[in-house]
């Protein structure tokens, strides 16, 4: 590599070229390239600074093992990408050989200010037996910092390529479809496609026990189900997706206990901080941890069983098929409503959902008994979620969507307080006698007050922020 561009940089006194390093990267995928089609790469690297197995999810890179191990995909990795592969075998699809040298830009003290990496690459495809070769440069920052590294990259014409971009030079570019979004049906299909495409990535996050992953995958399944149900006139009617909606309901409900406990555990631990020391909050905290730890283990086993099930794999296949069929359906076969411009369609859909929100929140505001209020709050929460989802689908009325999110937070706080009261009743019963029981009883009363406050807050926000059509249920 020519050292002149580096020597022209400030504070660089000399350039040292390292010995070449050989790196071999083997990319694994299904015969139909299911991973590559979603922008995911699974790679086994031998040599270099980062040997081992690497899973690149596009926005996130997951180093799975620190050593390459045998040339077969580890069971842990196969399970992580199961939602992408749907049980298909993973096999080598591309092999990349890299001869890497580094030019280290040093100052007078011998510090490495920046390193310019030159890769001489030869690649071959296992699918069509073709091969190609190229060279590329990229910059690794040193003590000179990122600004210095950017300057060095400009001088040396260096740019780092992602793993997906590297594989694309061997397997060819991924195919992208372009879709219009002119009719209400187009907007629904675009939203469905985005949510369905997110499920395999969220599946991988759940298996890795990423924070909030279970909540996000459940919410995604809920959104898909809501759209299939309430936008049915635009996509062929409810009968077409009846079975699919039932399966989505099964999937979302399987995650419900895990999602609820994920929020309830820290909530009760924080609530015990408001309990006087005389009631023994420390002993109560130990019981809370034992209670939720046992439940978490059971929930985790249930979630993994669902994700590994053939029923779930069939659900993913059916969702992909529905999106594909809807996208390729000839316009002449679509319902008349589906061919209308989005502006003419969305008003009726959003107005109908808004009227239902108005009726259900009005029922909650009028409820006086605790049991009636809890039922009314649950029904109102479902209506608000549906309303918010439709506003997202049709990308309408951002200020109203923000207000809807405020109503939803108040209703979810009410639901969380009611769930906490149930858990605290179980904990008090399990504690028997002593100060922890008193702590649980007091905290249960506080949660009851919190539920009442959230209902009152919702009534205030609703009267203050809802359009008159929602207030009147018209």
pLDDT at site 110: 77
What is the mean predicted confidence (pLDDT) over 199-209?
93
Instruction: Indicate the pLDDT class of residue 65, thresholds 50, 70 and 90.
Output: low
* CA 263 and chain centroid, separation: 17
The pLDDT value recorded for residue 393 is 84
Res 256: pLDDT = 93
- Lowest pLDDT segment from 78-87, 120-129, 146-155, 375-384: 146-155
Provide the pairing of β-strand 52-56 with 41-46.
antiparallel
Q: Which domains does the chain have, with CATH numbers?
A: 4-171 (2.40.320), 184-472 (1.40.20.10)
Over residues 370-399, the mean pLDDT reads 84
Q: Mean pLDDT throughout 260-279?
A: 88
Can you give the pLDDT at residue 407?
84
The residue-averaged pLDDT of 132-146 equals 78
Three-class DSSP labels, the chain: CCCHHHHCCCCCCEEEECCCEEEEEEEEECCCCHHHHCCCEEEEEECCCCCEEEEECCCCEEECCCCCCCCCCCHHHHHHCHHHHCCCCCEEEEEEEEEEEEEEEECCCCCEEEEEEEEEEEEEECCCCCEEEEEEEEEEECCCHHHHHHHHHHHHCCCCCCHHHHHHHHHCCCCCCCCCCCEHHHHHHHHHHHHHHHHHHHHHHHHCCCCCHHHHHHHHHHHHHHHHHHCHHHHCCCHHHHHHHHHHHHHHHHHHHHHHHHHHHHHHHHHHHHCCHHHCHHHHHHHHHHHHHHHHHHHHHHHHHHHCCHHHHHHHHHHHHHHHHHHHCCHHHCCHHHHCEHHHHHHHHHHHHHHHHHHHHHHHHHCCCHHHHHHHHHHHHHHHHHHHHHHHHCCCCHHHHHHHHHHHHHHHHHHHHHHHHHHHHHHHHHHCCCHHHHHHHHHHHHHHHHHHHHHHHHHHHHHHHCCHHHHHCC
* 151-155, 326-330, 356-360 — most confident range: 356-360
DSSP bridge partners of 53: 44
pTM of the entire structure? 0.80
Pick the more confident residue, 68 or 75: 75
What pLDDT digit, counting tens, does each position of 166-197 carry? 788 778 777 655 555 578 888 888 899 999 99
């Amino acid at each position: 590599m020519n050292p002149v561009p580096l020597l022209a940089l400030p504070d660089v006194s000399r350039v040292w070229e390292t010995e070449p390093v050989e790196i071999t990267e083997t990319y694994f995928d299904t015969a139909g390239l299911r991973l590559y089609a979603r922008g995911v790469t699974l790679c086994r690297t031998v040599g270099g600074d980062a040997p081992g197995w690497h899973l690149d999810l596009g926005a996130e890179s997951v180093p799975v093992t620190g050593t390459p191990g045998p040339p077969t995909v580890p069971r842990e990795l196969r399970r992580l990408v199961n939602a992408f592969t749907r049980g298909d075998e993973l096999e080598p699809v591309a092999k990349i050989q890299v001869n890497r040298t580094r030019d280290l830009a040093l100052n007078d003290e011998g510090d490495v200010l920046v390193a310019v990496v030159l890769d001489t690459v030869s690649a071959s495809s296992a699918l069509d037996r073709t091969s190609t070769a190229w060279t590329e440069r990229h910059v690794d920052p040193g003590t000179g910092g990122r600004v210095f590294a950017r300057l060095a990259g400009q001088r040396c014409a260096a740019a780092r390529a992602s793993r997906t971009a590297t594989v694309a030079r061997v397997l060819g570019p991924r195919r992208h479809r372009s879709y219009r979004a002119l009719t209400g049906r187009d907007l629904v299909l675009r939203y469905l496609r985005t949510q369905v495409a997110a499920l395999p990535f969220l599946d991988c996050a759940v298996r890795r026990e990423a924070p909030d992953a279970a909540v996000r995958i459940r919410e995604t399944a809920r959104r898909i189900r809501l759209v299939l149900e309430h936008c049915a006139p635009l996509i062929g009617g409810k009968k077409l997706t009846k079975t699919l909606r039932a399966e989505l309901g099964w999937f979302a409900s399987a995650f419900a206990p895990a999602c609820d406990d994920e929020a309830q555990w820290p909530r009760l631990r924080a609530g015990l901080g408001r309990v006087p020391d005389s009631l023994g909050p420390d002993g109560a905290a130990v019981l809370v941890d034992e209670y939720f730890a046992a439940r978490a283990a059971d929930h985790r086993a249930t979630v993994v069983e669902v994700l590994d099930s053939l029923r779930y794999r069939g659900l993913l296949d059916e969702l992909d098929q529905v999106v594909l069929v809807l996208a390729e359906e000839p316009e002449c076969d679509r319902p008349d409503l589906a061919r209308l411009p989005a502006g003419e369609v969305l008003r009726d859909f959003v107005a109908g959902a808004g009227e239902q929100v108005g009726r259900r929140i009005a029922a909650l505001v009028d409820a006086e008994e605790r049991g009636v209020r809890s039922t009314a709050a649950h029904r109102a929460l479902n209506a608000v979620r549906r309303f918010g989802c439709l506003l997202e689908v049709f990308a309408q009325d951002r200020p109203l969507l923000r207000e809807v999110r405020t109503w939803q937070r108040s209703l979810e706080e009410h639901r969380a307080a009611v769930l906490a009261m149930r858990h605290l009743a179980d904990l008090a019963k399990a504690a028997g006698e002593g100060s922890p029981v008193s702590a649980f009883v007091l905290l249960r009363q506080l949660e009851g007050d919190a539920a009442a406050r959230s209902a009152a807050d919702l009534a205030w926000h609703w009267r203050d922020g809802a359009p008159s059509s929602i207030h009147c249920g018209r």
